[in-house]
Structures are given as structure tokens and as C-alpha cells.
Amino acid sequence: MSYLILVRHGQSIWNLEKKFTGWVDVDLAENGKLEAKKAGNLIRNLKVQIDFYYCSFQLRAKNTLGIIQEILNDNKKPTAAWQLNERHYGALTGLNKDEMKIKLGEDKVLQFRRSWDLRPDPLDKNNPYHPKNIKIYKDIPSVRIPDTESLKDTYERVLEFYKMEIEKKVINNNILISAHGNSIRALCKYLFKLDNNLISKLEIPTGNPLVIKFDDNKINECKYLDKERANDLLVF
């Protein structure tokens, strides 16, 4: 028996301001820090020893994981992977979601946020929010840095990393991943074999650990630890 625990970072400053964030490196809001602490306490109550920790390159995921590890009193060094980053929202990056609903219409914004293979317009490379202008991404090969992404694009990079680095480990180890709404949705699509229609409906709550239990390399249980904020995974 082994566990894979997926945690979307706590509420970020731009979550609070209802902005499209993507690859911009914003930190946790105060409520996000509280969500991360609650996540840490819920995981501690499981009494499961975590063997490997993973997070994205982004501060909100790193700091969520740092808070959780502090509560678990576990100082293992996590592996940070840009492939676990949030989806890149292209030219929508930094814009307010409510304002864009007024400008483009609610249906169009929902399409950009939830469709499987629709990409927003690319973000100008001179924009300060472009990953090429953000220091933490300086060592990523430039050909791998996107100007915009669909959920399908996000799925492909997340799955490439998961299959290469995590899939074999989770057979015999307990693993915790601190990542983002869309990178976790990508993992859920793969793990639970969700079709393109179902994945478009899946919401991932901030700071609520999703615990997936494996027996003989097969999922036999899946649950959110904070039941009051649990969302239907459409499969269990």
C-alpha cells in the first residue's frame, strides 16, 4: 500500500485578486498560508511517512509545501520541477477574470479556462509577465518556455515528468506533490482516466489535500481530507 497526496497551493495573492496567474511567480495570501497550515495538520493526522516531495518552480507551491513540511517536522529536500507549473494563460496573464467576462463574455472566458485544447493568444515576449523575463525560469531551455498553453499542453508536460520521475516510485513509496489547479487536473485526468469533457468540469480546491491510495499499483481509494471543501472527483 502506498499514498500519492496532491495539494493545490493555498490561495495566492492573485487568486484573491481574481487575476489570471499562470507562470507569474506570486506568493501566498494570508488565507493561503492558513490553508497550507490546515493541509499540513490534516496530512499529519494521517500518520503517513512521506518518502518524496515534489513541487513546481513557483513560490506559491514551494511555500505551501514548506509550511506542510514544517508541520510534519520533515526536512527532506523537495524536487522542484517546472513541468508541474500552472498552465500558462498567454495574453490573459495578469488580467482580472471578472473584467474579462464583461469584455469577452462569460462563455468565452469559461472556454479559455476550461476547454481541453483552446489556447489564449500568446503573451508578448517583452511583457514583464512572460516567463523569459522571470528570473526563476532562466535555466529552462528557451524552446520549452511557452507563450501560451491549453490544458492539453499542460497535460503533456505534466505527464512527461510524472511518468519519468514519479510513476514507478509511487508503487512502493508515499509521495506528496504541491502544485496548481491545472497541473493537478492534468494528473487527475491521467490517474482516473477522465475524458476531455469530464476534465473540463473538474475543480481543484486550494489547500485541500487529495489522498490517493494505491494497492498493487491500482487506485483503491481517493478522498479529500477537508470534507467541508471536497469537490466531486467524478470517479469515486
Q: 174 and 49 in contact (C-beta within 8 Å)?
A: yes
Distance separating alpha carbons of residues 55 and 175, to the nearest angstrom: 11
Q: Is-catalytic flag, 203?
A: no
Distance separating alpha carbons of residues 45 and 98, to the nearest angstrom: 38
> 3-class DSSP state for residue 133?
helix
User: C-alpha distances in angstroms, 73 versus 16, 28, 36, 188?
Assistant: 29, 21, 14, 28
Q: Is-catalytic flag, 86?
A: yes
228's grid cell: 467541508
Distance separating alpha carbons of residues 172 and 183, to the nearest angstrom: 23
Q: How many CB atoms lie within 10 A of CB 114?
A: 16
Altogether, the residues listed in the chain come to a count of 236
Query: Pick the catalytic residue: 35, 86, 149, 180?
Result: 86
Q: Phi, psi (5° rounding) for residue 177?
A: -120, 125
Distance separating alpha carbons of residues 153 and 101, to the nearest angstrom: 24
Q: Tell me which residues are annotated as active site.
A: 9, 86
